[in-house]
Chains A and B, each alone.
Chain A
Amino acid sequence: MRYEAPETLDAAVALLAGESGLAKVLAGGTDLLVQLRSGMIEPALVVDIKRIAETRRIQEESGGFRIGAAVSGAEMGEHAGLKAAWPGVVEAVELIGSTQVQGRATAAGNLCNASPAADSVPALVAAGATARIVGPGGSRELPVEAVAAGPGRTSLGRGEIVASLFLPARGAGQGDAYLRFIPRTEMDIAVVGAGVCLTLDGDGRCTRARVALGAVGPRVILAEAAAAALVGTTLDEAALDALAEAASAAATPIDDKRGTADFRRRVAGVLARRTAVIARDRAKGAAA
C-alpha cells in the first residue's frame, strides 16, 4: 500500500487518476482506518488530503459557507457563523462518533463513505448543500444527494474527489434541524435519521421545504411528498400528521439487527414530525 499526502488538489487528482488498483481518499480516516484495520479493504493507494490548504478551511462564499473536505466535525462545531446559519447541519455532524472521533471525522468523508445511515447527509440534503467535485476533467458542483450511489458506493468517477461542500446563504425565515434515532443515548448508528429545512413567510406559512430521511433506504431519501405536505401550511397538527404519514410512506427500510422495517417506517414518521417542529421554531426565530 502506497501512502501519499500531496499539497494540491491537482496533485491528489493526478495520483488517484494514475492508480490502476484500488485508491482511497483519506480525510479524517474514521471510516477508512477502521476498514483497513478490519481487512475490509486493501487499497493500493491512500491519498491523504489533509495537507491541501483549501480542504482545511471554512470560507464564507456568496453569503453561504464553503467547507473544505478535511474540516473536522469539531471545527464545524466551533464555527459560530456556520452554527448560527445551519444549526441542523452542524448538529448532525456533531452526532458522528465520540468527542475523539469529532476531532477527525469530516462531513465530506461522511458523505463519501456513502452509508445509508450517515448522520450528516440527511441534514445536508435538506439544506440543499452541494459538493464540489474535482477530477481529471476539471471541477463540477453536484447536489449532495447525488453523491451516494448505494451503500458504500459513490457516483464519483476515477480520479474524482470531493474537495468541499457548499451550504448556500440561509434565507429569511429559514430553519433547519436534524434528529437521529438510536436505542441508546450515544455512540450508535442511526436506526432512522431525519433532516428538515423549511422557509416560513411573514405569516408563518411554509413556502418551501425539504425533508430527507436516513437509514431507511439504500441511500438517503429526499422525501418530496413529505415536503409537499408542509408547503402552504402553517405547520399545524394536520400538516405535521400528513408529513409523518408521507415520511413513513417514503421510507423503504430493511430489517436488520438495529431495527425491523416496520419499526423504521414508524420511526421515520415520528422523527420527521419532531424534526419539522424544531425547524419551524428556528425558522420563526429567523423570521423575527
Chain B
Amino acid sequence: MPEITLTQDPVHLRHGSNIGRPLTRRDGLLKVTGAARYAADNNPKGLLHAVVAVSTVARGRVVALDVEAAMAHPGVVEVMTPANRPALAGDPDAKPNPLVFRLDLLQSDRVRYAGQPIALVVAETLEAATEGAVLLAPRYESEPPAVGLDDGERFVPTAVGPGAPAELRHGDVEAGLAAAAQAIEATYETPPQYHNPMEPHAVVARWDGDRLTLDTPSQAMAMARLRLAALFGIPPENILIRSPFLGGGFGCKGLLSGPQVLGVMAARLVGRPVKLALTRAQLYGPVGHRSPTRQRLRLGADGEGRLTALEHHTLMSSSRFDEFFEPASNASHALYASPAIATLHEAVRLDCGTPMFMRAPGEAPGSAALESAVDEMAEACGLDPLEFRLRNYAEVEPTTGRPFSSKALRECYARGAERFGWERRPLAPRSLRDEHGLLVGWGVGTAIFPALMFEAEARAVIRRDGGGTVEIGACDMGQGAWTALAQIAADAVGLDGERVEFRSGSSDLPDGGIAGGSAHTATAGSAIHSAGAAVVARLAELAMADERSPLFGAGNAGVVARDGRLHRRDDESRSEGYAEILERAGLAEVEARGKGAMDAAAQQRYAMQAHGAVFAEVKVDPDLGQVRVTRLVGAFAAGRIINPRMVVSQYYGGMIWGVSFALHEQAVMDRRSGRPMNADLAGYHIPVNADLPALETILVEEEDPHVNALGIKGVGEIGITGTVGAIANAVWHATGVRVRQFPITLDRLLG
C-alpha cells in the first residue's frame, strides 16, 4: 500500500495495512446465526403493538371510522386518529428545506394517496391490533385520482433531485441536430418502482418523560433525530436512535417516514413502549417510490459518428403535495462529449405518495434511456456500439469543460470488452443463435455515478493499553459499512484492526452522515481518517516534545504511525510505542475528532464521477420472447477500493438491480383506484437467484488525488447504471426489436 498522505497535516503520516484487504463482514456471523438484532426484534418490557390502517382510496376524505368496534375488540388499548393523536410541536407539512419531506401524521381526514395511514390501532398483541384495524371499516368520500403521466398539467420544477437545476443548456442543440449527418429521436418509458427492502420499516419507540429511545432502521440517524426533535419539540440530545442493522434501505430509509413517526406518537399517546412494523403491502405508499418517467432523447452525429447534439427530456411525476423530481435527464451531463447538450425536466402531480431517492435516483432511469439511445445512434451510424462510445469519449466534462478528477473509463471499456469477448460480436442484430436455437445478443452500457460527499464527524481514541477506539454513527444497511469503515479506522489510528474497537450504528455517536448517494464510505471514511490523523498528531506532539522519547525533535521530518508505534519518518529505526508515550505523559488516553466533507475548492475545479462499462449477453426464446440474461461483466473504476470483497458484492448488487429494472420491476397501477395492483413480492417481481446469470466484476485501478484524502469514490449505486442499457441493447441485438418501455416484457418484445 502506498503511504497515505494527509492533506490536513503532512508532518504526521500513517502507514496502512488494513485498507485494501478483502476482509469478510464483521457482522457476518451475527447475521447468519440470526443473532443480529433488527429494529423489530426488540421487545422492551410493557411493549404494545401498533398496526396502521391505510387508505384504500387515493384522493378524498375519511368520513367514518368505527373506532368503537375497534376499541371493543379484546386486547385493543387505543385507537389513534386525527381526533386524539398527540399534538405536535412542528408542522409535518412544513418544508424548511428540500430534504424535509411532508409526512402524513393523522393531522386531518384528508387522503392524499392510496396507502396513506388514516388511523393506528394499539393493542396488547399484534393479532388484536391487526383485527382492530380491520374493524375500523373506514368509509370515504373519494374523488377520481390522477394516476399516470398523462393525467396532470405539466410544469417545469424549480429543482430536480436534491436541488439540481431542472434545465441545463450547453451549446445549440437545434444547430447540432441540423448539422448532423444522422439524427435520431426516441422516447423511453420507465414504470413506477418501489424500493422493497427485505426488512419493512419498523419502529420500537419508548418515552421516558421527554426523552425518546427508538429502535428503527435509518440510513441517516442524525437527520432523523433532528426531524423528530422538531416534530416533538424536544432537544435532539434527548433522542437516542439505535440502528445497528438495516435489512436493506435502497433510499426509502434515508429520511424518516411517516409511519415511523406514527409509532413514536402512539408510544406517547399510550404511555408505553410501542412497536410498529409495516406489512409488505404497506410499503407501497407512505415510504416513497420511484416515479414513472417518459424520456425523449434527440441525438445527432456527424459522418464520423461524433455527437453533434444530445437532448434529454424527462417527464416524471411527484405527489400532489410535495416535491421530489426524479432527475433522470442529468444522467446525460457528464458522460458523452457533445458540443451541444440540453437536459430538461417536466413534471406532473399525481395522487400518489411522494417519490423518494431510490437506487441511483435519476441516474438509473436516465442511464437506461441514454444508453439505449446511444446504441440506436450507433446503429444509425453503422458503428459498433463500443466504438461509437469511444468516439464520443468525454475527455473533460462536456457541459462545463472541467477536467475529471480521475477517469479510467477507457480501461473499463477495454478490460470489460476483453473479458467478455466483445470483438467477436457481429454488427447485425438477430445474427447469433445458441445450440438450442435461442437468439443470442450482446450489448454494452456505460456506467456513471457522481462521486458525492455529505458531512460526517468521527471520534478517535488511542489508549495507554495500546488499543484504540473509533466512533461514528454510521449505518450498515447490508453494504458492509461496519467492515470497510473499521478498516479505515484501523489505518487512521495506525493499529492493527483487532486492536481497534469500532463503534457505530447509534445516534449518540458522532454524526456519521447519510448512507446514501453512494457517499457513505467517502464521507464517513474521511471523518474517521481526519479523526485518526488528529489523534495521531496529539500523540506525536507528546513524543516530539519529550526529550526522553526517541522521537524528540523529529519536528519537520515528522513521524509515521504504524502497528501501534510512531516512527521517525527520516529514520524508521527510531520509534516509540503508543503505550510508552502515554505512560510517560501520565495519560490514560488521547482523543480527537475529525470531520469529513467535500473539498469545495476541488469540487469547483474538477468533475468527480465514478465510471464503468457493463457488457451483457441475453438469450431470447424466438417463439415466446422469454429473455434470460446469461452473462454480465462489469468493469468499474471508482477510486480507491477499501475492501474488494465488499465492493465486488456491491457491484453485483447494483448489476442485479439493473437486471431487475431491465426485465422485472414494475408497479402496475389501477387507473380507477390509484392503487398498485401488485403490492406484494408475488406480483412485484424482483429477480431471484434463478433469474440471474454468473456475474463478473473487474475492479479497475484508479487513483484520485482530488475527491478526498483517501481517494474514495462511491460504489453503491453505479452498478445499476450501464447495466439496464446493456441488457436492453443486448435484447435488441438478439432480436432486432427495440423495446423502449421498461421493463422489457415478452408482449412488448413480440409486439
Partner of A186, one of B134, B690, B745: B690
Q: Which of B18-26, B28-36, B74-82, B677-685 contacts A (4 or more CB under 8 A)?
A: B677-685
Q: Are B668 and A186 in contact (CB under 8 A)?
A: no
How many angstroms from the CA of A259 to the CA of B749 in the assembled complex?
12
Q: Does B688 sit at the interface, judged by CB under 8 A?
A: yes
How many angstroms from the CA of A39 to the CA of B682 in the assembled complex?
17
Q: How many residues of A contact B (CB 8 A)?
A: 18
Q: Are B688 and A263 in contact (CB under 8 A)?
A: no
Within 8 A of A (CB), among B686-701: 687-688, 690-691
Q: Does A100 sit at the interface, judged by CB under 8 A?
A: no
Q: How many A-B Cβ pairs are below 8 Å?
A: 43
Q: Are B668 and A184 in contact (CB under 8 A)?
A: no
Determine the chain A residues whose CB is within 8 A of the CB of B747 once the complex forms. Answer: 259-260, 262-263
Q: Which residue of B lies closest to A259 (CB)?
A: B747
Q: Are A270 and B624 in contact (CB under 8 A)?
A: yes
Determine the chain A residues whose CB is within 8 A of the CB of B597 once the complex forms. Answer: none
Determine the chain A residues whose CB is within 8 A of the CB of B668 once the complex forms. Answer: 257
Q: Does B175 sit at the interface, judged by CB under 8 A?
A: no
- A263-B746, A266-B750, A270-B624 known; A184-B683 Cβ under 8 A: no
Within 8 A of B (CB), among A61-96: none
Q: Which residue of B lies closest to A263 (CB)?
A: B747
Determine the chain A residues whose CB is within 8 A of the CB of B134 once the complex forms. Answer: 39
How many angstroms from the CA of A231 to the CA of B664 in the assembled complex?
40
Determine the chain A residues whose CB is within 8 A of the CB of B745 once the complex forms. Answer: 183
Q: Are B688 and A187 in contact (CB under 8 A)?
A: yes
Q: Does B572 sit at the interface, judged by CB under 8 A?
A: no
Within the complex, the shortest CB–CB distance from A140 to chain B, in Å, comes to 35
Within the complex, the shortest CB–CB distance from B542 to chain A, in Å, comes to 61
Q: Does B626 sit at the interface, judged by CB under 8 A?
A: yes
Q: Are B688 and A186 in contact (CB under 8 A)?
A: yes
Within the complex, the shortest CB–CB distance from A83 to chain B, in Å, comes to 22
Determine the chain B residues whose CB is within 8 A of the CB of A183 once the complex forms. Answer: 626, 663, 685, 745-746
Partner of A181, one of B624, B628, B678: B624
Within the complex, the shortest CB–CB distance from A161 to chain B, in Å, comes to 27
How many angstroms from the CA of A181 to the CA of B678 in the assembled complex?
19
How many angstroms from the CA of A82 to the CA of B678 in the assembled complex?
37
Determine the chain B residues whose CB is within 8 A of the CB of A181 once the complex forms. Answer: 624, 626
Determine the chain A residues whose CB is within 8 A of the CB of B746 once the complex forms. Answer: 183, 259, 263
Q: Are B691 and A185 in contact (CB under 8 A)?
A: yes
Q: Does A216 sit at the interface, judged by CB under 8 A?
A: no
Q: Which residue of B lies closest to A270 (CB)?
A: B623
Q: Which residue of B lies closest to A267 (CB)?
A: B624
Chain A interface, >50% SS class: loop
Q: Which residue of B lies closest to A34 (CB)?
A: B682
Within the complex, the shortest CB–CB distance from B607 to chain A, in Å, comes to 39
- A39-B134, A260-B747 known; A185-B690 Cβ under 8 A: yes
Q: Which of A39, A181, A183 has the most CB of B within 10 A?
A: A183
How many angstroms from the CA of A184 to the CA of B689 in the assembled complex?
11
Within 8 A of A (CB), among B627-663: 628, 663
Q: Which of B623, B668, B687, B750 has the most CB of A within 10 A?
A: B623
Within the complex, the shortest CB–CB distance from B53 to chain A, in Å, comes to 12
Q: Which of B677, B682, B683, B747 has the most CB of A within 10 A?
A: B747
Q: Are B688 and A184 in contact (CB under 8 A)?
A: yes
Q: Which residue of B lies closest to A269 (CB)?
A: B623
Q: Are B624 and A257 in contact (CB under 8 A)?
A: no
How many angstroms from the CA of A271 to the CA of B623 in the assembled complex?
9
Q: Are A257 and B683 in contact (CB under 8 A)?
A: yes
Q: Are B685 and A257 in contact (CB under 8 A)?
A: no
Determine the chain B residues whose CB is within 8 A of the CB of A187 once the complex forms. Answer: 682, 688, 690
Q: Which residue of A lies closest to B686 (CB)?
A: A184
Partner of B677, one of A186, A257, A263, A266: A257
* Residues 733-748 of chain B, each 1 if its beta carbon lies under 8 Å from chain A, else 0: 0000000000001110
Q: Which residue of B lies closest to A274 (CB)?
A: B623
Within the complex, the shortest CB–CB distance from A228 to chain B, in Å, comes to 23
Q: Are A184 and B750 in contact (CB under 8 A)?
A: no
- A257-B668, A266-B750 known; A184-B623 Cβ under 8 A: no
Determine the chain B residues whose CB is within 8 A of the CB of A262 once the complex forms. Answer: 747
Determine the chain A residues whose CB is within 8 A of the CB of B687 once the complex forms. Answer: 184
How many angstroms from the CA of A262 to the CA of B751 in the assembled complex?
10
Q: Are A257 and B678 in contact (CB under 8 A)?
A: yes
Q: Which residue of A lies closest to B681 (CB)?
A: A187
Determine the chain A residues whose CB is within 8 A of the CB of B677 once the complex forms. Answer: 257
* Residues 329-363 of chain B, each 1 if its beta carbon lies under 8 Å from chain A, else 0: 00000000000000000000000000000000000
Determine the chain B residues whose CB is within 8 A of the CB of A267 once the complex forms. Answer: 624
Within 8 A of B (CB), among A167-220: 181, 183-189
Within 8 A of A (CB), among B607-626: 623-624, 626
Q: Which residue of B lies closest to A266 (CB)?
A: B750
Determine the chain A residues whose CB is within 8 A of the CB of B628 once the complex forms. Answer: 185
Within 8 A of B (CB), among A253-279: 257, 259-260, 262-263, 266-267, 270-271
Within the complex, the shortest CB–CB distance from A40 to chain B, in Å, comes to 12
Within the complex, the shortest CB–CB distance from A235 to chain B, in Å, comes to 18
Q: Which 9 A-B pairs have the closest CB atoms?
A: A185-B690, A263-B747, A270-B623, A186-B690, A257-B668, A185-B691, A260-B747, A184-B691, A183-B746
A sample of 5 inter-chain contacts (CB < 8 A) reads: A185-B628, A185-B688, A257-B683, A260-B747, A270-B623
**Could you tell me which B residues sit within 8 Å of A by CB distance?**
134, 623-624, 626, 628, 663-664, 668, 677-678, 682-683, 685, 687-688, 690-691, 745-747, 750
Contacts A183-B663, A271-B624 known; 6 new A-B pairs at CB < 8 A: A183-B685, A183-B745, A185-B688, A186-B691, A259-B747, A263-B750
